[in-house]
Amino acid sequence: MDSFFITSTGTGIGKTLVVTALCSQLRQQGKKVTALKPIVSGFTYDDPESDPALILKSCGLTPTKPLMDTISPWRFTAPIAPNMAALGEGKTIDLDKVIAYCRDHTNLKSDAVLLEGAGGVMAPISDQYTMLDWMAGLRWPAILVAGSYLGSLSHTLTAVEALRGRGVPVRALVISESEKSPMPLSDTTSTLEKFMPRDIPVVKIPRLPVRSEPWKHVPPISWIIKS
């Protein structure tokens, strides 16, 4: 079974779109997928567009409270960095417990485990640790999602260097076109390709119209976890 950590250069970049698209496309190929969003902030059970709800829908499941509790054990209401959201509720996030939870799910009979992080590569999850520490602890290949907004080139290259510097293998870079882009998506993609190591493919997802179940309209990307 293959396990992948989907991370990004920041918040609202497109991690959930990539995770849900991968879930949907793999399921269409007859694969069994386990998708997780262990830590989520800005969460309420009655939000049909929450990350856990969308992930479950893309897996063909109804987003019930028990299922959302299962795939997202660490849930916080405030839409801020996980460490701050947890603090606001008088809680803390124990990194060792998070890593143990993730590893427990690799024992399931799935063809792939897809794990979505929270925020960007260096988003804090406690007073001592960041998302990068979580990824380094797991050592799962990372799929980095970036945008095409002004400044994304530097943010993306910095994120790649940070991941590789901690020994986290980068399986692919996915450029999800931002709402406001200073140049065509193809230009952003071709520029980043010049700086990417040869073993990191660069994939692009054009801006999609606002619609329900957007993952169904993402071009084929499931090949990146098979390469």
The residues that are catalytic are 37
Q: Which two tokens stand for residue 155?
A: 């943010």
Indicate the burial class of 143 (C-beta count within 10 angstroms; 0-12, 13-18, 19 or more).
buried
Cα distance between residue 37 and residue 68, in whole Å:
9
